[in-house]
Amino acid sequence: MAPTGVHITKDDVGSCTNPLKFLDQDYQELHQNCLTKNTKYIDEFFSPDNSSIGKGLLSDKDMAKVTWKRPSELVTDPNFIVDGASKFDYAQGSTLGNCWFLASIGALTSQMDIMNKVVPAEQSFSKVYTGIFHFRFWRFGKWFDVVVDDKLPTIDGKLIFVHSKTSNEFWPALLEKAYAKVCGSYADLESGFISEALMDFTGGTHMHIDLKQAPATLWNTMECAFKSKTLMGCCSPQGETPENTVLRNGIIEGHSYTVTGVFQVTSEGNSVRLVRLLNPWGQGEWKGAWSDKSPMWKTVSAEDRKKCLSVDDNGEFWMSMEDFTKIFQDMDICCLCPDFMDESSECHWTSTYIIGQWNAGTTAGGSRSYTETFWTNPRFRVRIEKLDKDCARGQCPENILVSLMQNRESRHRKKLPNFFIGFYVYDIPPGASTFRLTHKYLTHKSDGFLTHILYFINT
């Protein structure tokens, strides 16, 4: 059976340097039009009104108080970016539970090459200002340029959602507005997975790791990832209630954090592997071993202490790798290319996008439990070429990373239900160039079966 789907190759259209225009809006054209007419831009596709906030996020009483204001109406000297973009620039709003998105921003600011792709830096409130800004996001195989006006929702003169700790800096609020536009509304940003935004910021390869079944090589993987252009985040387990309960150890239940670094220190003659995390609230930290005020820091060299330790309540903290895997539930690594997974600098991975679909009644065959229909699922053949000597040295020639994502039929992120989707990996016998994946081969309990990956995707 031939594979059901289309192979996508990377061409110039839809690339980061030549992105598609989201909702057919051309930033340069709209900007020039405002200059010609000497007017301030107002976005017709994401109007500064209640429809852009969305339903269920604010009470009727608060919604009636909302006023959309441009930054120049809030401060006398608005700036897009002040002294460079930083993971400490912003704090989460009190009414929107989008820590998954803001934790991704924390990761984004650690890789300025990627940051400059998502947040074009030439934007300003002074030079040829017309009230229009734009950002770039990767969406299911293509990059899009997203235009917004700079009218922001406020109550009593204060921003409702994300805000900068520097009162006259507005890139975080405008970036959040652009992403809310892509997702449908601010309300559509409520609750999510950090992997969603990490993918939309990079268009790269995604790895999801269950920390309760973490491989022994995880810290090494994280160390290599940290040294490359890679974004990382994690999530704590959800408690018995949907509220973000702060535990006695300082960790927040059901909350997303940015992984901002890894470091190895020597404490009393023993090597200790540490992980650094950032709370997107901008405050509130871990209180256990290796926290800011932990006596463990007195056991390391003054050099390491100076390099790592900060006692500011800025939301960033260290903890041991053991505590990290014990306390947190899962983590996500998103990279432009998974080259970091191989020790050899000669290794360069290649990637391919394949688009397919499940059709009810024909190709939606279910899991291996459904032996009569499972074999009808869409399937794709992958050939792994032999590695050259430099790359293969110390590596596994069969190294492959498969990542599955689901496109949304609706622009509004929260309007579709959750689905279980996944994939199975099989080994085709050597030399079987015309081998057919038969019903018997796919459903037999031992033949060829390698692994099964199941995702719970919020669509």
Sorted by where each begins, the domain ranges of the chain are 11-191, 205-333, 344-398+417-459
Q: Residues 34, 99, 347, 391: which is the catalytic one?
A: 99
pLDDT at residue 8 greater than cutoff 60: no
pLDDT at 383: 75
Residue 391 annotated among the catalytic residues of the structure: no
Exposure class string for 25-41: b at 16+ Cβ within 10 A, else e: bebeebbeebeeeeeeb
Cβ atoms within 10 Å of 310's Cβ, excluding its own: 11
Residues contacting 130, CB < 8 A, separation 6+:
31, 34, 35, 39, 40, 41
The two structure tokens encoding residue 119: 């947040």
pLDDT at residue 121 greater than cutoff 50: yes
pLDDT at residue 65 greater than cutoff 90: yes
Closest CA to 51 of 71, 68, 39, 72: 68
Q: Residues 31, 134, 163, 255: which is the catalytic one?
A: 255
State in words which class domain 205-333 has: alpha beta
Name residue 425's beta-bridge partners.
451
Cβ atoms within 10 Å of 387's Cβ, excluding its own: 18
For 180-329, strand residue ranges (E) read 205-210, 230-235, 256-267, 270-278, 316-320
Identify the DSSP state of 388.
Answer: P
Closest CA to 53 of 41, 39, 65: 65
The type of residue at 125 is F
Percentage of residues in the chain with pLDDT exceeding 90? 40
The two structure tokens encoding residue 108: 């984004």
| H/E element, 453 | strand 449-458
CB 106 within 8 A of CB 17: no
Average pLDDT rounded to a whole number, residues 365-381: 80
Helix/strand/coil percent split, the chain, to 5: 25, 25, 50
Average pLDDT rounded to a whole number, residues 124-128: 88
Rounded to 5 degrees, φ, ψ at 246 are -90, 120
Q: Is the dihedral of CA 190, 192, 194, 197 positive or negative?
A: negative
pLDDT at residue 452 greater than cutoff 90: no
Cβ atoms within 10 Å of 135's Cβ, excluding its own: 25
pLDDT at 133: 97
pLDDT at residue 9 greater than cutoff 60: no
> What's the whole-number average pLDDT of the chain?
82
Residue 412 annotated among the catalytic residues of the structure: no
Task: Report which of residues 99 and 412 the model is more confident about.
Answer: 99
Q: Residues 206, 234, 279, 458: which is the catalytic one?
A: 279
Closest CA to 98 of 179, 153, 42: 179
Q: What is the pTM of this model?
A: 0.83
Name residue 210's beta-bridge partners.
330
Task: Report which of residues 12 and 446 the model is more confident about.
Answer: 12
Confidence band of 450 (pLDDT split at 50, 70, 90): low
Residues contacting 87, CB < 8 A, separation 6+:
105, 106, 109, 110, 258, 260, 278, 316
CB 437 within 8 A of CB 375: yes
CB 391 within 8 A of CB 40: no
Most confident of 25-39, 48-62, 120-134: 25-39
Helices 171-183 & 194-202 angle (0-180, nearest 10): 100
Average pLDDT rounded to a whole number, residues 40-66: 93
Residues 178-237: pLDDT tens digits? 999 999 999 988 888 888 889 899 887 888 899 999 888 899 889 888 887 789 999 999
Residues 310-338: pLDDT tens digits? 777 788 999 999 999 999 999 999 887 66
Task: Report which of residues 414 and 435 the model is more confident about.
Answer: 414
Task: Please give the Cα distance from 58 to 438 (Å, whole number).
Answer: 54
Q: Is the dihedral of CA 73, 75, 78, 81 positive or negative?
A: negative
pLDDT at 11: 54
pLDDT at 190: 86
The two structure tokens encoding residue 458: 């919020």
Strands 142-149 and 20-21: parallel
pLDDT at residue 430 greater than cutoff 90: no
Average pLDDT rounded to a whole number, residues 12-27: 89
Residue 279 annotated among the catalytic residues of the structure: yes
